[in-house]
Structure 1
Amino acid sequence: MLLARRYGLLALVIVLAVIAVAPLPDFWITQLNYIGLYSLVCLGLVLLTGIAGLTSFGQAAFVGIGAYATAWVTLNTGLSPWLGLLAGLAITGVSALIVGGITLRMSGHYLPLATIAWGLSLYYLMSNLDALGKYDGLLGVPGLSLFGMEVGQGRGFFALTWFIVVLAALAVIRLLDSRPGRAMRALRTGTQMAEAMGVNTLRYKIVIFIIAALLASVSGWLYAHYQHSVNPSPFGLKMGIEYLFMTVVGGVGYVWGAITGALLTKLLEDQLQVLLPWLIGTSGSYEIIVFGMVLVIVLKYLPSGLWSLVESRLPRPPRSMDWADAAALPERRKPAAGELVLDVQSIRKEFGGLVAVNDISFKLHAGQILGLIGPNGAGKSTTFNLVTGLLRLTSGKVVFCGETISGQRSREIARRGISRTFQHVRMIPDMTVLENVALGAHLRGGKGVVSAMTGLNRQEERQLMREAQRQLERVGMGASLHEQAGNLAMGPQRLMEIARALCSDPALLLLDEPAAGLRHKEKQALADVLRQLRSEGVSILLVEHDMDLVMDVCDHLVVMEFGTHLMEGTPAEVQQSPAVRAAYLGTEH
């Protein structure tokens, strides 16, 4: 997919170069200028809505901030429009940080409603401030010049605008194929899993919100100097809805969907404004009705947008494996053999009047595989979630390597060296197996968004990919690196999830039914992996219904029944217990 995006970037550059020198009428150059302005806003919405799953109707407000900031600065101070750009970006960044910090804590329909309120508020603020010219706006905004050349109109503006669009598209492509990009791609469907891998999901949502706002602000800066004036009309809620419409129709999950949507919407709007009055015999904004019908049709038959048709037909060559000579990632110090790693002390979880886990206690030592077994509904997975911070304790305490971790967030617990899999596989289906596993190494990298967008993270990326490949080969999935994760059967998905957990270099590994869906030989290979991990000093807490695997690899077992502690001991002791046979393994014949 990455190579397809880069081929698309090359094709776009070639097309733009041809247009720049072709004898096109000024009308079409003007149209392409506006399409470029819209594309910048839509690129931000691809990140915000398509990648992070956050719906915003307020992007036009950020366009307005960029436009008004540069207009006011250049008209009232005489400073260069390029300083106006910096002023707009600064104001937009602070505004987005404040608005995002408040609204992104909301979920469901509250977030779109909050962005509508934000957009309306800013629109009426711009319309009523004397300093901004109220509804008349600001006139006489100077054009842009670069190295002494006027680029504020025509082909000069076309070249500048699309140069910025290409740079923005390249930056977004690089971002999505990076450590922070993988974390961002997990936000829409895998927030809980991402937090368990150490990702601060709220922080990344805010970062995406700010990036989308800054792209909109750049569009507003260009617009102000292209129009030589600004007024509130283009920055209202109607335009915010239109930006979202463009992105959804083009393909909200695709970089090139942003440009496709802007192109088709602008051309369709212009043609409908001429065609519809001729057909109906009266003038009016009837194109909005057509846009609504088009949106319904696209959502019904092409929910991923028009670009999904192109993407489904593009070849997806495997990622270039350029990390063979990359340095190995540093590994954490493992606790010494026999050292107490996990001490679970009388933990309890109540859901209303239901007691799911009732005062469970057990200890796990370094280099030990501890099995947590019991019939369905015994509370095993709930116990896992309490240990890893996905659920809050009602009472009790969890101590890891001498430090109390109960009450901490799951990402903070992951940072201390605890990694896990899930009872129901959690993954990002449209990412490759390699990318899914590399997400597990999130805490072992440090490069951020700026490094990713500028390509300065290359060395770290090679290290992360090398580690992801190593862990996949360890679980027997070395041949599936470039397979799309959603195409895997259940068994390989579970092995991929184990590899992802191992990628974090854990001191304690929690595996929730890892053998479910595996064939006999895959189970044997899994048992070998677990023994190897034990020999390397990794402690393992295992929930599993396959008793052959449990009895084969576990050193100690804890048996639960209806959320209570039934008994514990060695596998031989548990097998000989009449209470266990009656409750779980079957009555003695």
Structure 2
Amino acid sequence: MKGLNISLPGLAAIALLAIIPLLPVPPFVITLMDNIGLASLVAIGLVLLTGVGGLTSFGQAAFCGFGAYTTALLTTSYGLSPWLSLPVSLAVGAMCALPLGLITMRLSGHYLPLGTIAWGIALYYLFGQLDFLGRYDGITGIPPLEIAGHRFLDTTSMYYVIWTFVLLLAFGARNLLDSRVGRGIRALRGGSAAAEAFGVNTGRAKLTVFVFAGVAAALSGWLYAHLQRTVNPTPFGLNMGIEYLLMAVLGGAGHIWGAIFGAGIVLLLKELLQRYLPWLIGASGNFEAVFFGILLVAMLQFARDGLWSFVLRILPEKAPKPRAEDGTAPLAKREMPAHGSPLVTLDKARKQFGGLVAVNDVSFEIGAGEIIGLIGPNGAGKSTTFDLITGVTTLSGGQIRLSGRDAGVHRPGDVARQGVARTFQHAKIFPDMTALENAALGAHLRGNAGVMRSFLHTERAEEAQILAEADRQLERVGLAEARDRPAGDLPLGQLRILEIARALALDPNLLLLDEPAAGLRHGEKQQLADLLRKLRAEGVAILLVEHDMSFVMELVDRLVVLDFGTVIAEGDPHKVRNDPAVIAAYLGGVA
């Protein structure tokens, strides 16, 4: 099972799923398992959307409605085969998710889940108001699924169909996360700045995972319609949307298999609570909703990683670590510009925040194969200058030219495509990813595999090349031994070096380093200096912000000094060091 990468406990679980209908179990057990499978499809989509992408949605039940009503209408009113209605149902789910995603993904904070609640309620009432959907009575007489003359009329026969789709979606979702596209999606939880600096289109990544979750829910709705043979709005309301989210959170919002586990726990508890709570309380009502609310609060307080994390402590996943195979062809390298040719030119660049002028008509040029130090006191505008060059911040005035062309209003991804890579003043590393995965994110633009290739696991050759490049850069900066460690476990000094490895994976011609030596010991600083000199010899230009003047003076070809956003000196480091204005503004007694 090398291609599927299934552990022995996983194989045992699949084998158990296969034989459950063959065991002497009551019929309601099969019915419960069918419902768990249907809910698992929705929960898997929510794991990617909420647990991985960090985007909360209470409206996934409405997408189940899109899938269910589409196949119900096509098969009863137009005589279409149920199997032919499947791609149409999924397409309707995707087409409805697309505009809703474009609108909803613009929201942030608590407005995002509130937005999903709003359209979830609206769509529920819409299903009940449309005459051609049967209003609140719904659509009946939906034909069953059929293969080679065999009709899936009962819950036992539908069991295998449902769980086949669950397993296929689970493996596909795991393939997607373990890919170039998946790293971009996983980077959403760490903020957009670092991901966008290496070419990840975060807006597209959010929309991708939103549509994926919508299609997964539409698949569940399609299966539900042919299992129940009737459809009405009741299962597609806000209450089910809340339950689906609870399944993802309870199981473990960051784990694909946790979604299935969470669906089983919630539906089993719901069955038990509906049976016994009225008897215990002595009154009838929807008391399980109160219990689930208390359970959700408790989970958020005491087990935010979900119950699946406890399962992994007993049966840890032993998936082999991703490693490039011997003989993997290297990624294509960028053609380096001629030594001294201008890469970036700032011409009276200006950035103003209200009444504060952070960068005041700054002009200087960065040529290929040179190291320039950008120094000055705290608040001088150094990091803002970095943000202007890389497109994080837009100019208030002046001009920035990349390779001789006016950059205009440029985005971070466009700058990265030009070969400009950067690190950040405060290390922006994704702690839940390994060091290798963080470095591989830097090579995002050097691959082109999309969602479908990643889902189907057909981009392995390209993925091996990206991992090999990340491996090479980690070894280059001295972090080879940390490749499989979560980045959140690394000390600050190694995080700084990891940021450089990630930047080098882009294959840059210009490297912007914001305080790279902070947190490094003396010997590590010397190794970093040697690496930067080697990069300069290869033709890479480096713009360096650093407060360690002994490190800077021994390394740079030129110095640019900022004070209150204004260039007060530029030129040979030894001359600049003795400039009275620089001594007064920054160096002081150090000079």
Q: Give the shorter-chain TM-score range.
A: over 0.9
Give the match for residue 260 of structure 1: 261
Give the match for residue 137 of structure 2: 136
Matching residue within 366, 372, 375 for 1:373: 375
1:584 to partner: Cα distance: 1.6
Task: Report the 3-state secondary structure (helix = DSSP H, G, I; strand = E; otherwise coil) of the residue aligned with 1:187.
Answer: helix
AA aligned to 2:380 is A
Q: Contact 2:65–2:233 at 8 Å: present in 1 too?
A: yes
Report whether the alignment pairs 1:548 with 2:550.
yes
Give the match for residue 178 of structure 2: 177
1:304 to partner: Cα distance: 1.7
Q: Contact 2:155–2:227 at 8 Å: present in 1 too?
A: no
Give the match for residue 82 of structure 1: 83
Give the match for residue 43 of structure 2: 42
Give the match for residue 431 of structure 1: 433
Give the match for residue 488 of structure 1: 490
After superposition, residues 301-312 of structure 1 pair within 5 angstroms as 301-312=302-313
Give the match for residue 191 of structure 2: 190
AA aligned to 2:106 is R
Q: Contact 1:447–1:457 at 8 Å: present in 2 too?
A: yes
Give the match for residue 518 of structure 1: 520
Q: Contact 1:318–1:482 at 8 Å: present in 2 too?
A: no
Task: Report the 3-state secondary structure (helix = DSSP H, G, I; strand = E; otherwise coil) of the residue aligned with 2:225.
Answer: helix
1:543 to partner: Cα distance: 0.5
Deviations 1:283-339 (CA, angstroms, capped at 9, x unpaired): 111111111111111111011211122235525565142423110100111110111
Task: Report the 3-state secondary structure (helix = DSSP H, G, I; strand = E; otherwise coil) of the residue aligned with 2:190.
Answer: coil
Q: Contact 1:277–1:284 at 8 Å: present in 2 too?
A: yes
1:500 to partner: Cα distance: 0.2
Please say which of residues 22-31 and 62-71 is displaced more in the overlay: 22-31
Q: Contact 1:582–1:588 at 8 Å: present in 2 too?
A: no
Report whether the alignment pairs 1:291 with 2:275.
no
> 2:115, 2:269 → 1: CA distance?
30
Matching residue within 341, 353, 356 for 1:354: 356
Deviations 1:405-445 (CA, angstroms, capped at 9, x unpaired): 24111111111111100000001101100000000000000
> 1:571, 1:252 → 2: CA distance?
52
1:6 to partner: Cα distance: 3.6
Give the match for residue 399 of structure 1: 401
> 1:260, 1:532 → 2: CA distance?
51
Percent identical? 54
Q: Contact 1:179–1:445 at 8 Å: present in 2 too?
A: yes
Deviations 1:53-87 (CA, angstroms, capped at 9, x unpaired): 11111100000010011011110111111122122
Deviations 1:506-562 (CA, angstroms, capped at 9, x unpaired): 111100000001111111110111011101111111101111111111100101112
1:588 to partner: Cα distance: 7.8
> 2:54, 2:183 → 1: CA distance?
14
1:125 to partner: Cα distance: 1.4
AA aligned to 1:41 is V
Matching residue within 579, 582, 585 for 1:583: 585
AA aligned to 2:23 is A
Give the match for residue 574 of structure 2: 572
> 2:334, 2:304 → 1: CA distance?
44
> 1:83, 1:3 → 2: CA distance?
29
Deviations 1:3-51 (CA, angstroms, capped at 9, x unpaired): 9984264343122123243222211111000000000000000011111
> 1:578, 1:87 → 2: CA distance?
74
> 1:581, 1:195 → 2: CA distance?
37
CA 1:588–1:329 in 2, change beyond 3 Å: closer, same or farther?
A: closer
Report whether the alignment pairs 1:345 with 2:347.
yes
Q: Contact 2:176–2:454 at 8 Å: present in 1 too?
A: yes
After superposition, residues 447-526 of structure 1 pair within 5 angstroms as 447-526=449-528
Give the match for residue 60 of structure 1: 61
Q: Contact 1:3–1:319 at 8 Å: present in 2 too?
A: no
Q: Contact 1:329–1:464 at 8 Å: present in 2 too?
A: yes
> 1:290, 1:58 → 2: CA distance?
21
Task: Report the 3-state secondary structure (helix = DSSP H, G, I; strand = E; otherwise coil) of the residue aligned with 2:416.
Answer: helix
Give the match for residue 31 of structure 1: 32
Task: Report the 3-state secondary structure (helix = DSSP H, G, I; strand = E; otherwise coil) of the residue aligned with 2:85.
Answer: helix
After superposition, residues 234-273 of structure 1 pair within 5 angstroms as 234-273=235-274
In structure 2, stretches of 5+ residues that fail to align are none
AA aligned to 1:18 is I
Task: Report the 3-state secondary structure (helix = DSSP H, G, I; strand = E; otherwise coil) of the residue aligned with 2:163.
Answer: helix
1:190 to partner: Cα distance: 2.8
Deviations 1:145-170 (CA, angstroms, capped at 9, x unpaired): 12322224222211111111001000
AA aligned to 2:88 is A
AA aligned to 2:36 is I
CA 1:588–1:466 in 2, change beyond 3 Å: closer, same or farther?
A: closer
AA aligned to 2:511 is L
Deviations 1:249-296 (CA, angstroms, capped at 9, x unpaired): 111111112111110010001101111111111211111111111111
Q: Contact 1:3–1:316 at 8 Å: present in 2 too?
A: no
> 1:324, 1:175 → 2: CA distance?
24
> 1:427, 1:20 → 2: CA distance?
47
In structure 1, stretches of 5+ residues that fail to align are none
1:582 to partner: Cα distance: 2.3
May I ask how many residue pairs the two structures share in their alignment?
588
> 1:370, 1:249 → 2: CA distance?
52
> 2:586, 2:313 → 1: CA distance?
48
Task: Report the 3-state secondary structure (helix = DSSP H, G, I; strand = E; otherwise coil) of the residue aligned with 1:219.
Answer: helix
AA aligned to 2:157 is G
AA aligned to 1:485 is A
> 2:187, 2:5 → 1: CA distance?
20
AA aligned to 2:339 is A
AA aligned to 2:510 is L
> 1:323, 1:176 → 2: CA distance?
20
Give the match for residue 336 of structure 2: 334
> 2:20, 2:162 → 1: CA distance?
13
CA 1:85–1:73 in 2, change beyond 3 Å: closer, same or farther?
A: same
> 1:343, 1:152 → 2: CA distance?
71
CA 1:152–1:520 in 2, change beyond 3 Å: closer, same or farther?
A: farther
Give the match for residue 414 of structure 2: 412
Give the match for residue 97 of structure 1: 98
> 1:123, 1:188 → 2: CA distance?
30
Task: Report the 3-state secondary structure (helix = DSSP H, G, I; strand = E; otherwise coil) of the residue aligned with 1:392.
Answer: coil
> 2:36, 2:300 → 1: CA distance?
22
Q: Contact 1:329–1:444 at 8 Å: present in 2 too?
A: yes
> 2:4, 2:459 → 1: CA distance?
21
Task: Report the 3-state secondary structure (helix = DSSP H, G, I; strand = E; otherwise coil) of the residue aligned with 2:554.
Answer: helix
Task: Report the 3-state secondary structure (helix = DSSP H, G, I; strand = E; otherwise coil) of the residue aligned with 2:254.
Answer: coil
AA aligned to 1:328 is P
Please say which of residues 107-116 and 279-288 is displaced more in the overlay: 107-116
Q: Contact 1:390–1:410 at 8 Å: present in 2 too?
A: yes
Give the match for residue 211 of structure 1: 212
> 2:163, 2:66 → 1: CA distance?
21
Structure 1 stretches of 4+ with a deviation exceeding 6 A read: 2-5
> 1:205, 1:38 → 2: CA distance?
22
> 1:316, 1:430 → 2: CA distance?
17
Please say which of residues 151-160 and 365-374 is displaced more in the overlay: 151-160
Q: Contact 2:61–2:240 at 8 Å: present in 1 too?
A: yes
